Structure formats: C-alpha cells, structure tokens
Amino acid sequence: MTTLRFVLPLTIAASAIVTAQPFDLSRYELVDLSHGFGASTVYWPTSKAKFALTQDANGPTEGGWFYAANSLSTPEHGGTHLDAPKHFSASGHTTEQIPLNRLIAPAVVIDVTAATAKDRDYRLTPEVVLAFEKTHGTIAPGTVVLLKTGWSRHWPNAKAYLGDDTPGDASKLSFPSFGADAAKLLVEERGVAALGIDTASIDYGRSTDFQVHRIAAARNVPGFENLTNLDRLPPRGALVIALPMKIEGGSGGPLRAVALVPK
C-alpha cells in the first residue's frame, strides 16, 4: 500500500492537538490525462516548430559511469498543454502566475461523445450544462470542467484529429469544443477554475474569433488542451492535478495532467 503523508495545519486547543493525517493513494486510481511529447505530437498547423529532442550525451563517461542528457525545444501550444490567460488577454496571468487552486481542483466531466459522433463541429451549449447539473448537481465555484468529446481516439493522426493537416493553414480545421454561451455560463456564472478538453482547443475547430478563449482569459481562467483518457473519469468525484512547465512570462506550456479517482 502506497501512503503519502502531508503535514496539515496544527489546531492547538486546551484539550488536544490534532496531528498530521496520512493521505492514502491506494484509495485512488491514478489516471494520466496527458499525451507524451515526441515526433508524432500534434501541433497547430501554423506552428513554426515542433517538438525536438537533441541528444547531448548518452554513454559511458571517462570516469566509468553512464551519463545521459538531452536538450529540448517545443512551442508552448502543442501536445497536451496549458493555455495561460495571457494567451488571449493582455492583462491575463502568465503561466507562472496562475494560482495553484486553478491547477489542482475537483473536476466534473461532461460527456458529449454521442453528439460529437454525429457532428464534428459540435459546440457545447448551456442547455447541455444545465442538463448535466440536473443529474449531477450544480457545478461549484473552483471546479475544473472537462469536456469529453472522445476525440483523443484520433491522436496522433493530425488529419483525423484536426480535420485538416495542411501545413501553415488553420482555415479548414474541424473538431468539437465548448460553445461561447456555455463558456459564459461556466466562467462568469459558475466561477470555474479551468476548462479542459480532449481536442486541440477550447474553441471549436472552425472558430475564427476564439470567443471561448477570450471569455476564459478575461476572468483569468486557464485552459487544458489535448487531454486524453477522459473516458476513465466519472462525471463527478475526481481530483485533477494539472501542472505545466513553470515558464516565466509564458502564454502557456507543456502540461502533465493527472486525475485521482476514488476507488
């Protein structure tokens, strides 16, 4: 059994002292929500670069021990990554400024796979959000809302995933995502911590004005894009930990996201 012990604040009273309590990871299923970065990683078609890993050392040293080290480079926005509010707001939080309670938070998962199977340009509506809440309860402030479209099944086939793989051209993309009115409900009325999705963007592929990004950024709500394994999460009850590379001044960055699902 794996047991982690976190130090909790001490409450001192005349009669008792409350000490640290163990956090038992064996009570949770750990789900990886991130695609690996490599040669097949999907990037936005207009990206001028892709992921590159350069070998600096890989072998025995003069001292007789093995040593390996690499250099890497990647655009901020590609693969499983975070969109910082700065991405679409001049005054928005940069990557390192995002509060941790927007990156580590309880999650709800809205399943729209049936709708996206019929319409690859599907956009989430307020009516679907309200129907979800009728069944599962009102989405509380500080919740990460994950939209499950089933799109990660196409990864890493860029043409199937994005709808078009013409280099340098993002005008023909086609994939589902959040709609602007649903984003307003979630961001402005529910006060969610973050929006996440298993497609390439929190705006649908054919968007030309990126309203969802702008709505979220205006309230300093980050986005988690190109997630995977959302089918392994329940509608409620999971805890998401989505920690990006802490890039000072960044508009986003590579993201290792995981979920803790109670067994």
Q: Which residues are catalytic?
A: 87
Closest CA to 194 of 227, 162, 170: 227
Task: Evaluate the omega torsion of the peptide bond into residue 167 and state whether it is cis, within 30 degrees of 0.
Answer: no
- Residue the block writes with tokens 């796979």: 113
DSSP for 207-246 reads -SS-HHHHHHHHTT--EEESB--GGGS-SEEEEEEEEE--
Backbone dihedral region for residue 180 (phi beyond 0: left; psi -120 to 50: alpha; all else: beta): alpha
CA gap 115, 47 in Å, rounded? 30
Size (the chain), residues: 263
One-letter amino acid of 137: G
Asked whether the beta carbons of 257 and 227 are under 8 A apart, the reply is yes
Phi/psi for 100 (5° steps) reads -65, -25
Determine the 3-state secondary structure of 37 from DSSP.
coil
Distances 214 to 70, 144, 207, 245 between C-alpha atoms, Å: 36, 17, 12, 22
> How many Å separate Cα 31 from the centre of its chain?
13
